Chain A
Amino acid sequence: MKSRHFIIHRLAWSVFVLVGLSILIFFIARVIPGDPARMALGPRAPQWAVDNLVKELHLNEPIYVQYWLWLKGVLHGDFGTSLVTRRPVSADIKEFFPATLELIVVAAIIETVGGILLGALSARYSGSWFDSLVRLIAYLGVVTPAFVWAIIFMLIFGYVWPILPILGRIDSNLTVPPTVTGLMTIDSLLAGDFEAFKSAFLHLLLPALALAMGGMSQAARITRASMSENLSRDYVGSEMAAGIPMKLIILKYVLRPSLIPTVTIIALDIAAMLGNAFLVELVFNYPGISRYGINAMLTKDLNAIVAVIMVIGLAFVVMNFIVDLIVAYLDPRIRLQGGK
């Protein structure tokens, strides 16, 4: 009963956040200087063509009317036309979003597993050489931006010791599997083409690792800190006194409360990857939504900007929702006291 209440509450909140975000971004995109119609058509286009485009985009209407028209479209799955690609924005998103999604899923797995494992081991053996090593790497990981990792990995694994592919989504002499989900790995599996799957997967590794380094380091540090803190709690002493084996105490009794801050950090970092992937996608020449979004901003491609931001916003909302569920699972105080 209580958990259903909790979920409905959170869902309503999510919708509210998304609507708020759409209003905000819609207005901001329109008030920043620069005439989108002129930019789309170029400086030499005749004035009548620009005027026509302005009318077509309803840019001459009051802004709340524009928003209303936009919202009506969105509810029918229509995000308008891109001024640059001249295709429906939704088609562009459908093409670029799965590529980034795939990248982020792999990065998220690396980040979660690596961060928790390193942090937990480091806390367990705190003071050892292993702990010092992890702390050093984690420190470097936090202060080094993802694109620097991207370049380092590219140099190491692409040139010095070329064991992994560094450009694009799949080997250029393989046939690209027919698009079903847009996720290259899944599509190649659906087509039964294991060679393509292997290639697509290997192409993901370096960009995903570069993307995950920062978050993984952050997660390792947080996990280490919260595990150390929990390890010094009295209940660990009483569990030891009861003769419960140390391994069980750590893996069960200490890990669960320690994961609460970690989960929050990881999830928000994953959502942020959608936007942060830009330079990594650029370095690895990876056709993802982050690159698309930055291009849209540079060209003031109004519909594309709003759509990309909405996708990123949606990702944050979904991740937040997932975090809330996981944290509620981990921490009964939140679950049973109504999400305060």
Chain B
Amino acid sequence: MRELVEDFGGGTRSGRPVRTAQVGGPLGAYIPQSAFDVHMDYESLSGSGAMLGHGGVVVFNDSVDMARQARFAMEFCEIESCGKCTPCRIGSVRGKETLDKIIAGANLEKNLAVLDDLCVLMTDASLCAMGGLTPMPVTSALKHFPEDFGSARQAAE
């Protein structure tokens, strides 16, 4: 993957350092730059908590705000949800709202816990992969970039 991003792709367009890449579409996981030494195949990616999905790779430079990216995933789900099952229909809206609260620094500890639970719920209980995979970008962002969510974020702002 590093070969793909850095050699074939030539790094970021702006030339700023690469921070992460989302692989497999809007519901794919964010892979931090440090973990780019992975083969671009189904097994290897799913072994590192990501997925190949439709194969697309979107590279982000170091100016990216991963909490906003997580919010984007929930918003994407809200827009795309067919509305049949509850976890996806209501969960995506509540996920977006909870991330708004997190971005605003409100009740961080509680809201991060709520978001965690919601991600488990959407993953395990959604009817189809739309709601089921939406947590993937969210949890990968949380896992690899906690500084964008926690109190560190507020300090930085």
A, B co-complexed: no
